Amino acid sequence: MTRPVCVDIDLAAIRHNYLVCKQKAPNSRTFAVIKADAYGHGSLVVAQALADVADGFALLNIEDALRLRDAGITQPILLLEGPFDTAEVTAMSEYRLICAIHSDHQLDWLRHAPLPRPLEVWLKLNSGMNRLGFKPQRLPELLATLASLPAIMPTTVMTHFATADDARGIATQWPSFTAATRSCGLALSAANSAALFAYPECFADVVRPGLVLYGASPFDGQTGAELGLKPAMTLRADIIAVQELQTGDSVGYGSLFCAERPMRIGVVACGYADGYPRIVPTGTPVSVDGQPSRTIGRVSMDMLTVDLTELPLAGVGSRVELWGPNVPIEWVAAAAGTLAYELMCAITARVPRRLLS
Ligand SMILES: *Cc1c(COP(=O)(O)O)cnc(C)c1O
């Protein structure tokens, strides 16, 4: 017996979505971005599900990368933020990880770290996001520096887009990146999910989709399904109690919701301590035994309430989908004033993960 809340991870959907990405950019390599525990889906299980098709993987923590190597993943693994200290440079070379570098202090670590094997390096340029990266005009000088380090093999120049998902697109960053990298002789990588679905001109040598692998859309007002993707994550829980309301009865903390007619509501074993956003208002879509319904009142720590008035067959034990194939995560994210990214990453450790393949 266990509390009836669960997150289903559909690995076949992730494979499907990866292959959609490959089809979009058939002449590029597609590195699957599996940082943040594969956006909450599990970085090792996702890597294993893609092991026979993926051109490479990208993530942040060296610990996660080593776990992939220990599990027999042989593809290139790119560490998107590079080393966080000198020792990591040595470990990256030992485990054949690709080291992105974005700052001078990392260059210093490259100079001084003992390298058991040659280390592949990607240079990260700041083309306008102003988060990580060297100024584009420094590229020739940086390449000269790297050329003087015998065990360092620079292969690729990368950048990251700030607005590929909205109307501004890549209009300023892409020209600045291409101008700086013209005739540098290295491979280029720029596209995230949004750019991969909107701007073929920037596919270059390596594309780096994250969100779309998990079946969500990076674009406001559009769902992943509308882009040909399959949602990979289903958050679901069962109804554990039913209440009959009279007109005037209120529900939950703050008595936020007040019944304007007799109603039947179901109490669902999922709350904000599971990662469902507390902020969503009454009316946020859910699905009860496959039928559309809505949340009622305030989400509490361990429970939330849904409307069963029109669903007379639903009751204790009914299955409620909070997001998944029947309830696009983008709808819940919009109700919460956030993005699918944040909801996926916010599922908490107490929610068991069930793998579907
Ligand atoms: C997270 C990340 C990506 C993937 O972004 P999505 O919007 O999820 O596709 C690609 N590149 C870099 C450098 C990233 O940090």
Q: Which atom of ligand 1 is nearest to the CA of 192?
A: 9
Spans of all domains in the chain: 11-219, 233-356
Answer whether 343's CB lies under 8 Å from 257's CB. no
Has residue 123 got a pLDDT over 90?
Answer: yes
- Strands 119-124 and 291-296 turn out to be unpaired
Q: Measure 341 CA to ligand 1 centroid, in angstroms.
A: 11
Q: What is the mean pLDDT of the chain?
A: 97
Q: Measure 210 CA to ligand 1 centroid, in angstroms.
A: 5
- Please indicate whether residue 33, judged by its CB atom, sits closer than 6 Å to ligand 1: yes
Q: Which atom of ligand 1 is nearest to the CA of 208?
A: 10
- Please indicate whether residue 218, judged by its CB atom, sits closer than 6 Å to ligand 1: yes
* Mean pLDDT, range 276-299, rounded to an integer: 98
- Please indicate whether residue 192, judged by its CB atom, sits closer than 6 Å to ligand 1: yes
Question: What pLDDT score does 107 carry?
Answer: 97
Q: Measure 226 CA to ligand 1 centroid, in angstroms.
A: 21
> How many residues does this entry show for the chain?
357
- Please indicate whether residue 59, judged by its CB atom, sits closer than 6 Å to ligand 1: no
Percent of the chain with pLDDT over 70: 100
Residue-wise over 292-303: b if at least 16 C-beta within 10 A, else e?
A: ebebbbbbbebb
Q: Which is catalytic among the residues 35, 39, 214, 272?
A: 35
Q: Is 98 helix (H, G, I), strand (E, B) or coil?
A: strand
| 276 is an active site residue | no
Residue 357 confidence class, pLDDT cut points 50, 70, 90? confident
Tokens of 105: 């202090």
Give me the CATH code for the 11-219 domain, please: 3.20.20.10
pTM more than 0.85: yes
* Mean pLDDT, range 159-165, rounded to an integer: 97
- Please tell me whether 129 is known to bind a ligand: no
Q: Which atom of ligand 1 is nearest to the CA of 60?
A: 15
Q: Is 317 helix (H, G, I), strand (E, B) or coil?
A: coil
From 123, 165, 208, mutation site for ligand 1 pocket: most ligand atoms within 8 A of C-beta? 208
Question: What pLDDT score does 352 carry?
Answer: 97
Of the CATH numbers 2.60.120.10, 2.40.37.10, 2.60.40.650, 3.40.50.800, which one belongs to the domain with range 233-356?
2.40.37.10
Question: What pLDDT score does 1 carry?
Answer: 67
Determine the Cα–Cα distance for residues 112 and 55; give it in Å rounded to an integer. 30
Burial class (CB in 10 A: 0-12, 13-18, 19+), 1: exposed
